[in-house]
Amino acid sequence: MEKKLVLRGVLAGALAGLLAYLFARIFAEPQISAAIRYEHGRDAAQAALDRAAGLPAEAPGPDLFSRTIQADVGIGVGMIAFGMAMGALFAVVYAVCLGRVGGLRPRALAMLVAGGGFLGIYFVPFLKYPAAPPAVGHPETIRDRGDLYLAMVACSLALLVAAVVLGRRLAPRFGNWNATLLALAGFAVVTGVVMALLPSPGELAVNVSEYGHHATETPLPLRDARGAIVYPGFPADTLFSFRLYSVAAQGLLWAVIGLAFGPLAERLLTPRPGPGAATPPRPAPLTPA
């Protein structure tokens, strides 16, 4: 049974990844192209400043893949593979929750797990470390930023599980509605504390030593030796649009996983009764064979 659920999760994830890719290709890709144009223009301005100061200019590195391949094949394969991985993970969590989180129907449980996946894996970490297009972020901090993001994802998932457990324990005393509100409030407070304790990208040691104290790694205006601006800072509209479409693409992915998986799971877990048969019982918790 578990293998059949995982297979359905992978299929739902592949469909979700494909639809999320199409959305990102139409809406997010133009923002990525604008960010790359900004990066090239800023690099050219920096090279001109270096030449004027008598400094050697860095030669740009070769592009291993063209923009067409990156935008069409690269993002497409990546989104579909990510969707399949999240679909498999979703199915495992779904199997664990089945029959253990109240008398929810398969479709309702699928949407609940999908909402938790979007919240815990993407949206809460995004609030602390939002997605960044090309040109936003220093190459020296890629590893540190990746480690911090993974730490935020781990904390988010752990706190989400703790909130679910807390809500179930409080339900007999306060009722389901009040217990849910209390658990959500506790999740929000503790998550806020974790976010406050984790450093922002601009405050990483490498950035402070090389660029000074800044809240983020978003490029500021490029200035010459006299302090005059020779190239503007990163466009705020491009950054906002990229992050908005990133959230929308992830929301679409998790919504499609839940919507596509729900009917598949329902057919598997709720056999069709024959003529005159009694209504089948709700699915019982899955136990290892």
Residues contacting residue 179 through CB under 8 Å, at least 6 positions apart: 166, 167, 168, 169, 170, 171, 173
For residues 209 and 213, give the distance between their C-alpha atoms in angstroms, rounded to a whole number: 8
Check pLDDT > 90 for residue 92: yes
For residues 15 and 71, give the distance between their C-alpha atoms in angstroms, rounded to a whole number: 19
- Sign of the Cα torsion 204, 207, 209, 213 reads negative
Average pLDDT, the chain: 88
pLDDT at 242: 96
Check pLDDT > 60 for residue 268: yes
Confidence of residue 71 (pLDDT cuts 50, 70, 90): low
Between 71 and 31, where is the model more confident?
31
For residues 234 and 215, give the distance between their C-alpha atoms in angstroms, rounded to a whole number: 15
pLDDT at 289: 45
Check pLDDT > 90 for residue 231: yes
pLDDT mean over 211-232: 89
pTM for this structure? 0.86
pLDDT at 213: 83
Check pLDDT > 70 for residue 243: yes
Burial 184-216 (b: 16+ CB within 10 A, else e): eebbeeebeebbeeeeebbebeebeeeeeeeeb
Check pLDDT > 60 for residue 275: no
Between 226 and 275, where is the model more confident?
226
Most confident of 17-21, 65-69, 99-103, 270-274: 17-21
pLDDT mean over 138-163: 94
Check pLDDT > 70 for residue 56: yes
Residues contacting residue 219 through CB under 8 Å, at least 6 positions apart: 42, 135, 136, 233, 234
Q: Decide: helix, strand or coil at residue 128.
A: helix
* CB of 269 closer than 8 Å to CB of 106: yes
Confidence of residue 49 (pLDDT cuts 50, 70, 90): confident
Span 163-185, pLDDT tens digits: 999 998 999 999 989 999 999 99
Check pLDDT > 50 for residue 15: yes
Find the angle CA(288)-CA(269)-CA(176) to the nearest 5 degrees.
85
pLDDT at 176: 87
pLDDT at 281: 56
Of 100-109, 120-129, 248-257, the range with the lowest mean pLDDT is: 100-109
Q: Where are the domains positioned within the chain? A: 1-54+69-136+236-271+283-289, 137-217
Confidence of residue 68 (pLDDT cuts 50, 70, 90): low
pLDDT at 83: 97
Closest CA to 245 of 15, 4, 30: 30
pLDDT mean over 215-227: 89
DSSP 118: I
Q: Which long-range contacts (CB under 8 A, 24 or more apart) does 192-196 make?
A: 194/152, 194/155, 194/159, 195/127, 195/128, 195/152
Rg (CA), the chain: 24
Backbone dihedral region of 219: left (phi > 0), alpha (psi from -120 to 50 degrees) or beta? beta
pLDDT at 206: 86
* CB of 50 closer than 8 Å to CB of 56: yes
pLDDT at 1: 75
Confidence of residue 75 (pLDDT cuts 50, 70, 90): confident
Q: Which helix (H) or strand (E) segment is 229 a member of?
A: strand 229-231
Check pLDDT > 90 for residue 12: yes
